[in-house]
Chains A and B, each alone.
Chain A
Amino acid sequence: MSEYLVQFNNISKFFGKVIALKDVTMKLKKGEIMCLLGDNGAGKSTLIKTLAGVHKPDEGEIIFEDKKIVFDSPRDALDIGIGTVYQDLALVSLMSVTRNFFMGREPQKGLPFFKTFDIEKANTIAAERMGQIGIDVRDPSQAVGTMSGGERQCLAISRAIYFGAKVLVLDEPTSALGVHQASMVLKYIVKAASQGLAVILITHNVHHAYPVGNSFTVLNRGKSMGTFQKKDISREKLLSMMAGGEELDKLEVELKEMDRIENN
């Protein structure tokens, strides 16, 4: 068995004439957090959807636990253990914590044809799972709409883990959150990785990614700029590798220039 839990080798995806992804390679070990960095339009969304089984790659292969895998639907990806938490979280704010936690996979009890949704069991598990990550759900039958953004994110991640994710794909989990909420989510991600999950953290925020990541893959215009171990790269270098970085440098120079002219 190779040291990698999951490998995405030379993945390419085309939409008509548009090259959305070209030769992207990522390899993850158990317990590793890989941050996928890229500016808007870098191809992050396409890559996520390819990992989640929504898109089929046009080139390249996905190897999971040493077996070559082809996904025909998002369900296939879920079944082998790739759990994707999308930016919209797939939570219904009017429904209760429990009903959201088990949405689509409700535990049942009773005789065939008269099977009922085992709410008591579901409430217990949901409260227990949320408790483990330090979120005391006041009442698992309360609406998800009453939770904070960070709590919702944690609920969605916790749900993916409970339903057997070995690889977690997180799409911008901290983008809509304040500092405190974001750190709560990042803490939880580190904890999940320490329990043996491989995590792909997709973000454009280097400041959130750098403290928690073990390795960093930078995407720019559909191509991978390479994967770097944390010890090999600084936060500043990462930032400038993302398309925005260079441009921000340029902007800084220009502003200084303007300043100089004005002061003279």
Chain B
Amino acid sequence: MSVKSESIQSKKDSGQDERLKKISPLRVLLNRPELGALGGSILVFIFFGIVAGDTGMFSAYGTLNFLDVSANLGIIAIAAAMLMIGGEFDLSIGSMIGFAGICIAIPAIYWGWPLWTSIIFAFAMAILIGYFNGIMVVKTGLPSFIVTLAMLFILRGATLAITRLITGRTQVPGLRVLIEDDPIAWLFATDTFQWLFTWLGSMKLIALRTDGTPLATGIPPSVIWFIALTLFATWILMKTRYGNWIFASGGDKVGATNVGVPVGRVKISLFIGTAVASTIFACIQVLDAGSADTMRGTLKELEAIAAAVVGGCLLTGGYGSAIGAALGAIIFGTVSMGIFYTDVDTDWFKVFLGAMMLIAVVFNNYIRKKVTETK
């Protein structure tokens, strides 16, 4: 694209049209949806670099800690962002996390299923629920806000009721022993690059425990999933036909339909995407904690939407990016962990979250006007 646009640029310089002017690199950057989030994350790192630079926040252990939190949020934020670009919301993400958790835990603990079958079962349920959300929105024409709000209550209620009915309590522990030797569970439960951390530890480059093993044992699975999903979503949005359909479906549903974009199918698949991402989130959390909790994931849908908005997604659809949502998640993750390393009371975190979102929305609105203004 760089070569192509240069050739057009040079044609322009030869003076074919007097109205043409050079587009400054700043202008090109301004046209990117993730600009705000990029600036925001740089500011956040500068801030904590100054305030908490010497506290261990940026040690290997501390870094992995806030990356892990960011990555978990990022996994669902990216899916939420893609759905928002496609013009819809999913408020059932948090409830889906709780539901997926017990879909894994109850069959594995109470029905004696091998862990991998219950993981597959959870993903199958996610696809079904995502499909249901999608088909409801597409067929009834109701706002997705309402449809998925209903699903938020239904899933959370069902999670609680089913768990109590089968187990008599609201938590299902005892999964940790099942992870070993399972053919699938390692995907969500293994720290990678352990050799690197062992080596760094042996070189005394990172902090060690008293028994000589490194404090940070490896890259958590959430971070690997997060990076993979960011790349995958970006590839889809920028480089595939389906990506163009997502933008078109969210930008102008009627127009997209008129030129032959299968808007309904695109939206349904995006709802399946958020449900599946919630299940990935649930797998990582449940296997990490070794237990499923019926309240897991509460309010996560709003954090995911907040990260997507900070990342440049417009609430009206048709505009946004996966990298932006990823950066939005990093901002939230870094601040929520970083605040422990400062003197600031952690109670202030939510205040920050809300303020950040307001600033982002105002900024994005301004950018959208810039992008679409007639020159």
Contact = CB atoms under 8 A, between A and B. Distances in A.
Interface of A: 74-75, 78, 84, 86, 88-95, 99, 102-106, 108, 115-117, 119-120, 123-124, 127, 136-143, 145-148, 159
A78 B260 contact: yes
A4 B338 CA distance: 75
Contacts, number: 113
Given A95-B248, A123-B1, A145-B372, A89 B318 contact: no
A104 B254 CA distance: 12
Contact of B375 (A103, A105, A146): A146
A92 B256 contact: yes
A156 B243 CA distance: 21
Nearest to B245: A104
Given A138-B12, A141-B5, A103 B374 contact: no
24 contacts: A74-B258, A75-B260, A89-B255, A92-B248, A92-B251, A92-B318, A93-B251, A94-B251, A94-B314, A94-B319, A103-B248, A104-B248, A108-B241, A115-B241, A116-B239, A116-B240, A117-B243, A120-B4, A123-B4, A136-B16, A139-B5, A141-B5, A145-B373, A146-B372
Nearest to A163: B259
Contact of A90 (B240, B258, B372, B375): B258
A106 B375 CA distance: 27
The CB with the most chain B CB atoms within 10 A, among A78, A124, A146, is that of A146
Interface string B292-315: 000000000000000000000010
Given A94-B318, A106-B241, A147 B374 contact: yes
A181 B337 CA distance: 56
B146 interface: no
A92 B245 CA distance: 11
> Ordered nearest first, which 8 A-B pairs have the shortest CB separation?
A145-B372, A92-B251, A90-B255, A104-B260, A106-B241, A104-B259, A104-B261, A90-B258
B142 interface: no
Interface string B242-254: 0111011001101
Given A90-B256, A99-B247, A136-B16, A117 B240 contact: yes
Given A103-B259, A104-B259, A116-B240, 20 more contacts: A75-B260, A91-B255, A92-B256, A92-B318, A94-B318, A94-B319, A95-B251, A99-B247, A102-B244, A105-B259, A117-B240, A117-B241, A117-B243, A123-B1, A124-B4, A138-B23, A140-B4, A142-B31, A145-B374, A146-B373
Interface string B1-27: 100110011011000110010010000
B371 interface: yes
A113 to B, nearest CB: 11
Contacts of B375: 146
Interface of B: 1, 4-5, 8-9, 11-12, 16-17, 20, 23, 31, 239-241, 243-245, 247-248, 251-252, 254-256, 258-261, 314, 318-319, 368, 371-375
B374 A139 contact: no
Contacts of B243: 117
Contacts of A159: 259
B244 to A, nearest CB: 5
Contacts of B241: 106, 108, 115, 117
A90 B254 contact: yes
A238 to B, nearest CB: 30
A241 B344 CA distance: 78
Nearest to A116: B239
Given A92-B318, A136-B12, A86 B258 contact: yes
B260 A105 contact: yes
A92 B252 contact: yes
A251 B258 CA distance: 41
Nearest to B31: A143
Contacts of A99: 244, 247-248
Contacts of B255: 88-92, 103
A137 B319 CA distance: 21
B308 to A, nearest CB: 16
Contacts of A115: 240-241
Contacts of B259: 90, 103-105, 159
Contact of B256 (A104, A123, A143): A104
A117 B244 contact: yes
A92 B251 CA distance: 6
Contacts of A89: 255
A35 B188 CA distance: 65
Contacts of A74: 258
A106 B241 CA distance: 6
Given A119-B1, A138-B20, A148-B374, A92 B258 contact: no
A91 B261 CA distance: 12
B252 A139 contact: no
Contacts of A105: 259-260
Contacts of B20: 136, 138
Contacts of B373: 145-146
A143 B371 contact: yes
Nearest to B12: A138
A146 B368 CA distance: 11
A141 B1 CA distance: 9
Contacts of A120: 1, 4
Nearest to A73: B260
A86 B371 CA distance: 24
A137 to B, nearest CB: 8
A141 B248 CA distance: 15
B60 to A, nearest CB: 36
A103 B255 CA distance: 10
A78 B319 CA distance: 28
B374 A146 contact: yes
A107 B124 CA distance: 33
A140 B23 CA distance: 13
